Amino acid sequence: MSDCILFAKRNDMAKKKEKEMEADFSAEERLKEAAIKVFTQKGYAATRTRDIAKEAGLNLALLNYYFRSKEKLFEIIMMEKLQQLFEIIIPLANDPSTSLDKKLTAIASEYIDMLSVNENLPLFILHEIRSNPERFVSKMQVTKIFSDSVMIKQIRERRSDINPIHFVINILGMVVFPFIAKPILFSSGQVDDKAFGVLINERKKLIPLWVKAILKAK
Amino acid sequence: MSDCILFAKRNDMAKKKEKEMEADFSAEERLKEAAIKVFTQKGYAATRTRDIAKEAGLNLALLNYYFRSKEKLFEIIMMEKLQQLFEIIIPLANDPSTSLDKKLTAIASEYIDMLSVNENLPLFILHEIRSNPERFVSKMQVTKIFSDSVMIKQIRERRSDINPIHFVINILGMVVFPFIAKPILFSSGQVDDKAFGVLINERKKLIPLWVKAILKAK
DNA sequence: GTCTATAAGGGGATAGAC
DNA sequence: GTCTATCCCCTTATAGAC
């Protein structure tokens, strides 16, 4: 019984703390953060603006007051998230002063760190782009990774006999795929959140090693 | 002018051929095929039952007549597609009579062939599972790949110092990731449908080579 | 079995009070 | 700026004719 009271009190305090933390952000910021959470989790089509408002602890009218429409709010978030994905790799892949090996280490490490705190990002982006390719294609500076990047040139120097895109696909796949396949890994029962954390941390060191190995493979 | 007539005639015949082929299938089958196409392309939430009926060249009421609801139709398709994904890899991964190298060759080849004619499948499955993990987890026999498969044992024999799940992730990632990332590859302008076909065909031979290389990498 | 027409409900957006 | 109440369209599902 006293346990119950203590527990209730602790819960109250946690709630209060939460409220206070929320209060540090404006309604606009809270709606945007809520929208990021819900959109990236469920995708555009499956999210209801009511869910976003509820997640933010605010009401639906505010969403339209600040962002005009679900569509416009989505567009803002999508652009930000595309930016977030590309701003990591483009400068790293185009740095002429680093070796290919250094690039691999940097990309694996920085991408995995970013995705660890944005686990839903890859699947969200990939799903939304496919639902509406023409809409976002122009916004993506993919050329800067896949065709005329310094990294592509460095890969070509090592393996002129294989299309360098193969290796870019492999690097990105090794980094991104675990996050995309997470629900499947978990369903095996062999992986939980802790084990997943260990795995992706190991991959920071393993991926550069692996990529060097496949660059040599005959 | 005569070209136009010929062209029109050819189109008419193509149309007729199409109609005849459609007629070979019952309304139920046509609706299901249409549903597979639309669901896997746009995802559950974004597809409207009207789109499915239209795609099948039939009307909305028929869909409910045969399948009761959008939900039930989706469930049927989802189960079939999960089956389709797992039935390829599970027997291959659990064949005690083949070497690990043979398994890699078989998995890469058969998966790539299947995904080539079901390009939307991976992203569809992954997106829907994440939107509703608890719903499908029990239906997936993932354990048979990730923990107690023959392949896992064979991997462990070669590299006892690294969690074998890493290698399964890498194999599947190398096979599946190009299909998931297709819209991004295309947006680079470097890859079109023909080039994509060439790439994934090359990967059938390259992936086993690469996996052998990373198994040795120190 | 297949169709048209319509009911029922959900969800995005706004009006108007405070 | 923030809220409640409400509008109205769009979508799923069904009734009922053929």
Q: Are B132 and B170 members of one domain?
A: yes
Which residue type does A76 have? Answer: I
User: Which of A39, A67, A95 is at the close of a domain?
Assistant: A67
- Arithmetic mean of pLDDT, B70-97: 97
User: Which of A40, A67, A94 is at the close of a domain?
Assistant: A67
Which region among A2-11, A175-184, B70-79 has the lowest average model confidence (pLDDT)? A2-11
> What DSSP designation does B105 have?
H
Q: Are A195 and A169 members of one domain?
A: yes
The answer for residues whose C-beta is within 8 angstroms of residue B125's C-beta and 6 or more apart is B78, B81, B82, B85
Q: Which residues of A touch B44 (CB under 8 A)?
A: 46
pLDDT digits (tens, 9 = 90+) for A112-134: 999 999 999 999 999 999 999 88
* pLDDT at A9 exceeding the cut of 50: no
Q: Are B63 and B79 members of one domain?
A: no
Looking at residue B6, what is its pLDDT? 36
Q: Are B41 and B100 members of one domain?
A: no
- Is B109:B132 a contact under the CB 8 Å cutoff? no
Instruction: Check if A173 contacts B (Cβ < 8 Å).
Output: yes
pLDDT band at B56 (very low <50, low <70, confident <90, very high): very high
Q: How far apart are CA B129 and CA A188, in angstroms?
A: 13
CATH code of residue A160: 1.10.357
DSSP annotation string for A49-83: HHHHHHHHTS-HHHHHHHHSSHHHHHHHHHHHHHH
Q: Do A173 and B185 touch (CB under 8 A)?
A: no
Looking at residue B23, what is its pLDDT? 55
Looking at residue A37, what is its pLDDT? 98
| CB atoms closer than 10 angstroms to residue A138 | 8
CATH code of residue A59: 1.10.10.60
Q: Which residues of A touch B123 (CB under 8 A)?
A: 126-127, 130
Q: Are B48 and B85 members of one domain?
A: no
Q: Which residues of B touch A203 (CB under 8 A)?
A: 166
pLDDT digits (tens, 9 = 90+) for A33-43: 999 999 999 99
Burial tier of A118 (Cβ tally within 10 Å: 0-12, 13-18, 19+): middle
Region of residue B57 (left: phi > 0; alpha: psi -120 to 50; beta: else): left
Task: Give the closest nucleotide to A46 (alpha carbon vs C1').
Answer: C11
Alpha carbon B198 to chain centroid, angstroms: 18
Q: Are B78 and B61 members of one domain?
A: no
Q: Are A84 and A58 members of one domain?
A: no
Range of the domain at A117: 75-218
pLDDT band at A23 (very low <50, low <70, confident <90, very high): low
Which nucleotides in chain C lie closer than 7 A to a protein CB? 1-5, 10-16
Give me chain A's average pLDDT, please.
90
Can you give the distance from the CA of residue A69 to the C1' of nucleotide C7 in angstroms?
29
Which nucleotides in chain D lie closer than 7 A to a protein CB? 1-5, 10-16
Q: Are B57 and B26 members of one domain?
A: yes
- Arithmetic mean of pLDDT, B117-134: 96
| CB atoms closer than 10 angstroms to residue A103 | 23
Which region among A47-51, B135-139, B161-165, B191-195 has the lowest average model confidence (pLDDT)? B135-139
Instruction: Check if A42 contacts B (Cβ < 8 Å).
Output: yes
* pLDDT at A57 exceeding the cut of 60: yes
- Arithmetic mean of pLDDT, B97-113: 98
